[in-house]
Structure 1
Amino acid sequence: MVGMREVARKANVSPGAVSRFLNQDKTLSISEDTKQRIRAAVRDLNYDINKRKYEKAKIQSIGLISTIDRKKEIDDPYFSQLREGIKEEAQRLHLGLNRTYYLAEDNPQEWKDFDHLGAIVIIGTVNESSIQKLMKQNKNIVIVDNPDITADVDLVYADFERMIQKNLSLLVAAGHTNIAYIGGYNIDINEYGKKEINENEKRLRAYKQFMYDQGLKQNINYKLGQWEPLEGRRMADELLAEKVDDFPTAIIVGSDPLAVGVYHSLQSAGKKIGEDLALISFDNIEIAQSLTPGLTSVNINSKEIGNAAVRLASEKINGERGENVVLTFPSKLIERESFHFS
């Protein structure tokens, strides 16, 4: 029996475009010529319309579950670019993006209505048990930025742990051993939007492991808070108060927004970043190069991560592979005045 993929091949379009066109998806944007090719392929192949109605139960569409609230998604360049990458690739592959669940805000009472979607992309640290529950409705799941999940799903994430290790190695090679870490808590969220705040954050985890492995256990010194500039300042202020006579010669900061607050704190205390201490951060957002001195930061292409997540979802929807995939995206350290490593 002729299937939708045969129709898509004959019409030279994606299966997603065929599905959405035949299901009269009003959000689909394709040319009249493309529509005519699909109609002709359906007619020439004698495609079974009744089968098409059956296939409607699994539409060519992606549901998005995010642990990031709407404001943060807009304000934080990492997440805004990630979402842009998801949107861009979904449009290119003619996949609908017609349902978004913000767990931190929407206060859902239960997982529901995910069984008819082609696939689900989850951004952030939804806990393992909630993922297992969701898989009872839909097994086509791609998880972004949560490498600790062991369920049978696709994973795509930036390799933060490797970059922490690389940055620490550069600092140690430059003679630094008194190295502190300032970052944010890990926040696990379940299907009801309930948060569990803990220290199991991948950057902190890699920092502690490196210090142990290098025989620097006695120098482990870290501060955790929320992922925002004011918290960065607060944590740096605490570090200054606690380490008056033995202040770290280097600090790794978990994100550039946090680093903005750290800069304000250190500079208010008379510390010369790049001279009195080295500082490395993550994200390489625009503000990293406008700070004085310029902030050495890890560049992470979150837009490409978003693109990849949708491509993995599309492969699952179309049955193009049976095995799950884990994609890790490499990052690049951009050197500026806060730390010279060359």
Structure 2
Amino acid sequence: MNAPGIKDLRPLALGELIDRSATFWRAHIKPLFLLCFGFELINYILSKSVVVALERGNLFFKGGPELQSRMENDPTSLFGDLGTMMGATSVLWVVLIWSYWLSTLVVARYVVPVQLGESALPADGLRRGLHRLGSFTGAYVLTQLWGLGISLLMMLPGGALILLGALLSQTGSNSRPATIAGLLLIAGGALLAMLGGLAALFWYFLRFSLLAPVFAMEDLSTLGSFRRSGDLISGRVAPGFMGRVKVRAMILFTVVAGILIAVSFVSGLPAWIVRFAYGNPFDAAAAAANPIPQTLLVPVELLQVVGQSFFTPLALVFSAMFYLDMRMRREGLDLERRLDNRPPTSA
């Protein structure tokens, strides 16, 4: 099974990387869909279970008069509900990101051999994922700890402004200018902290974008794979600003992420139409008073899952292509393959 353009194995320009990823995705849409649909379905079941459980037992999700009354009379009694909501959503986030990286590993194990002209089956990726599951999960835990440290570091300036604003408001409570200045510092700090969190999130996906392909194709230990992915995404591969690997990766992943966000929005339109038909979905009290029947909501959400299963592989294919491009630019993988496939010459 050969991919289009396999005879032209060489380092690619930015536009060529996106074009070849899209070409491969179109040519192998069925096996890629089958590989991703299972992950997307499991993710949906987990997310739906958490949301339904919170809607039934968490006041912040249920909304209504009880939440308003508790916030006015005894706001401290809501700390338990707040902690439960934050804990459940945090655990769900960690599991969903782990599932995303694992699906990237599975798809990369199918894409890279095909691009190198070797035979490969979707089942090969699944077997590889199961074989490397333990070491991959260990590396994923390391990425989460690394990402948590970077998030705290990037959100630290905003947190300092919030703390300074709170102190200024408290010490100058009798002074109107001091109170206004404190509120401005708190608002600015919150905005700065939010931007720092978004920057940390973007950095996380950029820094570990090649971890899953490394696990898919190279037999390294947990720490070895962690370091190897960092080496591949660091430094430069060409002169000039655009020669920096992180700059190239940032541009390419931004383009692909934009495509996926647009596709996700389109595929999610039926679910949003149903939600708005039953009132304002952002008003918890109205949603609680007029709940959407799950027999109507689940089918349109499953339609969104199917749509995402068709288009999410494009991003996963791109990760595999970018891994190949880094191997060719840094290690001459394309030249090595040509030498290995060169016919013998007579004396």
Please give the range of the TM-score, normalised by the shorter of the 2 chains: under 0.3
Choose between structure 1 and 2: higher strand proportion: 1
The structure whose RCO (Cα within 8 Å, separation 6+) is larger is: 2
Choose between structure 1 and 2: higher helix proportion: 2
